[in-house]
Structure 1
């Protein structure tokens, strides 16, 4: 790599640029780029060697890694909206819920028609008819079976695999409830509940804004 870098410097400093020197420059640049990529892959693979070697054994390395992650993710306390520090689990949860409720709530607009009139229409009447048509039971089934079977659990502890495996038992009930919401706008409040996992974005998070939110449905 150093040899190629030196060659590039020499070619860059040349007073006369010819077609041959241009071709040489491109060739050397390509070789250097390939080596840099190989170096990146090499260090990426090497960084995983300790974990591959010791990670899934009951070793000091494994316990130190697990303890380090636990310490990093542990939330000792958080500042509420009023600036007060709270450290009880229930209070921390309430701060998080309140923050994300406000973050994802819909805003108000008293000039919606004016806003919409300023946007060129892209949806044709035929497209609108298709988009406005009622959902079908088959669409609900297709959507559920496209979900990752072992993705995050919902508050009920059931992942997509449960519904996929026992579709012949629970399928009709699932379809009825989903279509009732999609086509009629009615949904049971409990179905809209979700688990919230806070992931620190900074080293010492103190406010809700310092956390990413991971949903579990």
Structure 2
């Protein structure tokens, strides 16, 4: 008897939520039409902000309900090839997908034009650096002693590489080669020697083999309602070899950085030229 009452209550709740979402979306659509006609007033902007907040609150309540159910089902089914698992993935893809962008005051949703806009924007931002580089004409008072220099430049050992692999996360976003650190840990006896050889090659020659530095560039929305290209933050999904190298460099710098930089100067700790 209790299940029947709860089912009716849940059905009514979902119906009211759907009606509320539809009303808010219709309201936002009407406001956007006014904005497209350049009828912009402070009242209209505040009305749009309030409608967006209400829509976000409604969606958040639905997301919390979905998360509760997901935790229960995940505990039962786990990471299986099921409809539930693919539903979670499809929902994330839908939330992160790029519907369109504003280009010179015009809303563009054609995939080819959207791609061209993103490509041209980031091509202008991430150009190849010039030949000349800036230099700091300043003598830093703190210097590494000979023992610290030896520790930094000491050849990388296989045990150090293994510790770096085990210090990284197991299952993060897949990289272009498709391998995660869980794979390297599980089959370390097989692939470990080759990975050590590749990492040691980098420290000896200062370069990667072709393809080892490839990465996926992913666009993460900065806001709940991204409109222009600047509303997206680009991140790079880099390969495991690159992460192992950076982990080793960070571990070695951690041993000497306190003697070079004060605790209140941590913003400068990413400057590679400072340690050269």
Give the whole-Å Cα distance in 1 for the aligned partners of 2:153 and 2:211: 27
Q: 5+ unaligned residues in a row in structure 1: which ranges?
A: 1-46, 59-63
Higher gyration radius (CA): 1
CA contact (8 A) 2:121 2:229 kept: no
Does the C-alpha gap of structure 1 residues 69 and 106 become closer, same or farther in structure 2, counting only changes over 3 Å? Answer: same
So what's the TM-score if we normalise by structure 2?
0.47
Does the C-alpha gap of structure 1 residues 109 and 96 become closer, same or farther in structure 2, counting only changes over 3 Å? Answer: same
CA contact (8 A) 1:78 1:87 kept: no
Within 5 Å, give how 1:177-188 maps onto structure 2: 177-188=198-209
Match of 2:148 among 122, 127, 136: 127
What RMSD in Å do the two structures reach over aligned CA positions?
A: 4.1
The corresponding residue for 1:145 is 166
Give the whole-Å Cα distance in 2 for the aligned partners of 1:111 and 1:65: 48
State the Cα distance separating 1:211 from its structure 2 match.
Answer: 1.3
Give the whole-Å Cα distance in 2 for the aligned partners of 1:180 and 1:101: 33
Give the whole-Å Cα distance in 1 for the aligned partners of 2:124 and 2:188: 33
SS in 2 for 1:192: coil
Match of 1:50 among 62, 65, 74: 65
The corresponding residue for 1:76 is 99
Within 5 Å, give how 1:1-217 maps onto structure 2: 50-55=65-70, 70-78=93-101, 87-88=110-111, 92=115, 95=118, 99=122, 102-103=125-126, 112=135, 115=136, 117-217=138-238
CA contact (8 A) 2:100 2:107 kept: no
CA contact (8 A) 1:145 1:164 kept: yes
Q: How many residues in Structure 1 have an aligned counterpart in Structure 2?
A: 164
CA contact (8 A) 1:135 1:182 kept: yes
So what's the TM-score if we normalise by structure 1?
0.57
Q: 5+ unaligned residues in a row in structure 2: which ranges?
A: 1-60, 74-86, 239-276
CA contact (8 A) 1:78 1:92 kept: no
SS in 1 for 2:235: strand
Deviation beyond 4 Å, 4+ runs, structure 1 = 64-71, 83-86, 103-111
Q: For residues 33-84 of structure 1, give each alpha carbon's deviation from its aligned partner in whole angstroms, at most 9, with x where no partner exists.
A: xxxxxxxxxxxxxx786345434689xxxxx99887555422133468xx99
Give the whole-Å Cα distance in 2 for the aligned partners of 1:52 and 1:210: 26
